[in-house]
Structure 1
Amino acid sequence: MQDPRAAHKDAYTLILEAIDNHTYTPGDRLVESELAERFGVSRTPIREALQRLETQSLLTRDGRSLIVASLDHTQLSELYVVRGELEGLAARLAARHAAPEEIKVLRDMLEEDRKLVGDPAALSRANRRFHSQIHLASHNRFLMRQLDLVHRSMALLATTSLAAEGRSAETLEEHSVIVAAIEAGDGDAADKALRDHISEAYVTRLRLDAQAVEAAQ
């Protein structure tokens, strides 16, 4: 069945969004003909999109097939280290450059997101939106490009750390501290608050992975 969104987005964006929203998860095989039918586009742009995603290491080869890549323990560690550095810099720059209107948007997001506690999937989408707003408030296009690459790789995580018990409420409190530092124009505090936030998310991710391994034994 054709995806109605396809009329307004290219094949690369559609496949990337399908990975990001976990329509396709690590290990899933992507087939040109099936993707072309799903999105209502020809196989040529699908093939080009798959090649691009493979180049970006979001897809990997399994024999002759392309599958959604997964991250091992070392890759996960590397990803969170880079994410912490870049996100912290974005918060620092936002504290310096964010307009009052941008800060108001962040404040409004905080209030809206409090209604989503208990719905990890919805809060995960809101979390990405929140972080994207901080990226925009940094007013640094080169940093935003690098963060975009990092967040594409985050799509390879099959579950959200927000699903862990109590993590949703903790995340919102951490977001509140970040926004307060940005609003105060305190770059050091904003940088630290966001790095701490990413660190807590990583700790939660490691606990979830450990629990998954134990359950599988």
Structure 2
Amino acid sequence: MKDRKPAQTDAYSLILEAIDMGEFRPGDRLVESDLADRFGVSRTPIREALQRLETQSLLARDGRSLIVASLDHNQMAELYVVRRELEGLAARLAARHASAEEIAVLRDMVQADDALVNDTAALARANRRFHKQLHLASHNRYLVQQLDLVHRTMVLMATTSLAAEGRGAAAQGEHRAIVAAIASRDEDGAEQALQDHISGAFVTRLKQDATARDTAG
């Protein structure tokens, strides 16, 4: 039986995932025909996906070409401020509303992800799954929508903070503390633990950028 090609309606997700995984980096030019060949879909859904990504400011115009957008220092800082507040609220609401089963899933995720601390790409994917699961545990659809927007924009960062030495293990410890607070129904503690987690990631990101500037200079 032949392998099935991805559904044409998946073109948006396929391009977004490729950006997220660093296959397309900020400044890279995206060509409609090349993408159609790469993903095995027709050019129409590719064109629609590119238009959608441009509308979401994930792609930018460079003359007549579309390129992967980039975030400057101020944009990155603003994004982390918003993410810290929204993620903190999600943790607070999860401590209030999450079912025992949802908490068990979060706990199991953290335990399983401990095995990935030496595999940055796998840990980054697991990290996204963990945060998405936590968002859903807030049981607030409007908050989940806003966090989806924030996390879509996060794909424009060329590297993951989890690539920094020791950050993976530290992040796992922070995830464990977040889940413990949620399980204890400690709303203040869950919110603070999540906000501290995002602050730690931001500090790491700032250090990465500073090192990159030094290297480039």
Shorter-chain TM range is over 0.9
- The answer to whether the 8 Å contact 1:181/1:189 transfers is yes
**CA RMSD across the alignment:** 1.3
Query: Aligned equivalents of 2:163 and 2:94: distance in 1?
Result: 28
Question: SS where residue 156 of structure 2 aligns?
Answer: coil
Question: SS where residue 61 of structure 1 aligns?
Answer: strand
Question: SS where residue 118 of structure 2 aligns?
Answer: coil
Query: Aligned equivalents of 2:41 and 2:26: distance in 1?
Result: 24
Q: CA deviation at 1:65?
A: 0.6
Q: What residue is the counterpart of 1:185 in the other structure?
A: 185
Letter in 1 for 2:164: A
Q: What residue is the counterpart of 2:129 in the other structure?
A: 129
Q: What residue is the counterpart of 2:19 in the other structure?
A: 19
Q: CA deviation at 1:7?
A: 2.8
Q: CA deviation at 1:192?
A: 0.6
Letter in 2 for 1:211: T
Q: Deviations over 1:34-73 (max 9, x none)?
A: 1111122221221111111111000001111100001000
Structure 2: which 5+ residue stretches go unaligned? Answer: none
Query: Aligned equivalents of 2:131 and 2:200: distance in 1?
Result: 15
Describe how 1:65-144 pairs up with structure 2 within 5 A: 65-144=65-144
Query: Aligned equivalents of 1:212 and 1:192: distance in 2?
Result: 30
Q: Percent same amino acid among aligned pairs? A: 72
Query: Aligned equivalents of 1:175 and 1:4: distance in 2?
Result: 37
Q: What residue is the counterpart of 2:31 in the other structure?
A: 31
Q: What residue is the counterpart of 1:201 in the other structure?
A: 201
Query: Alignment length, in residue pairs?
Result: 215
Structure 2 length normalisation: TM-score? 0.96
Structure 1 length normalisation: TM-score? 0.96
Query: Aligned equivalents of 1:49 and 1:4: distance in 2?
Result: 20
Go from structure 1 to structure 2 and tell me whether the alpha carbon gap of 1:172 and 1:192 turns closer, same or farther (over 3 Å shift): same
Query: Aligned equivalents of 2:47 and 2:68: distance in 1?
Result: 15
Go from structure 1 to structure 2 and tell me whether the alpha carbon gap of 1:9 and 1:45 turns closer, same or farther (over 3 Å shift): closer
Go from structure 1 to structure 2 and tell me whether the alpha carbon gap of 1:172 and 1:145 turns closer, same or farther (over 3 Å shift): same
Query: Aligned equivalents of 1:118 and 1:16: distance in 2?
Result: 25
Q: What residue is the counterpart of 2:156 in the other structure?
A: 156
Query: Aligned equivalents of 1:75 and 1:5: distance in 2?
Result: 37
Question: SS where residue 57 of structure 1 aligns?
Answer: coil
Is 1:147 the counterpart of 2:147? The answer is yes
Question: SS where residue 6 of structure 1 aligns?
Answer: coil
Query: Aligned equivalents of 1:87 and 1:167: distance in 2?
Result: 19
Letter in 1 for 2:36: A
Query: Aligned equivalents of 2:99 and 2:89: distance in 1?
Result: 17
Letter in 2 for 1:132: K
Structure 1 runs (4+) greater than 3 angstroms displaced: none
Question: SS where residue 156 of structure 1 aligns?
Answer: coil
Q: What residue is the counterpart of 1:53 in the other structure?
A: 53
Go from structure 1 to structure 2 and tell me whether the alpha carbon gap of 1:9 and 1:52 turns closer, same or farther (over 3 Å shift): closer
Structure 1: which 5+ residue stretches go unaligned? Answer: none
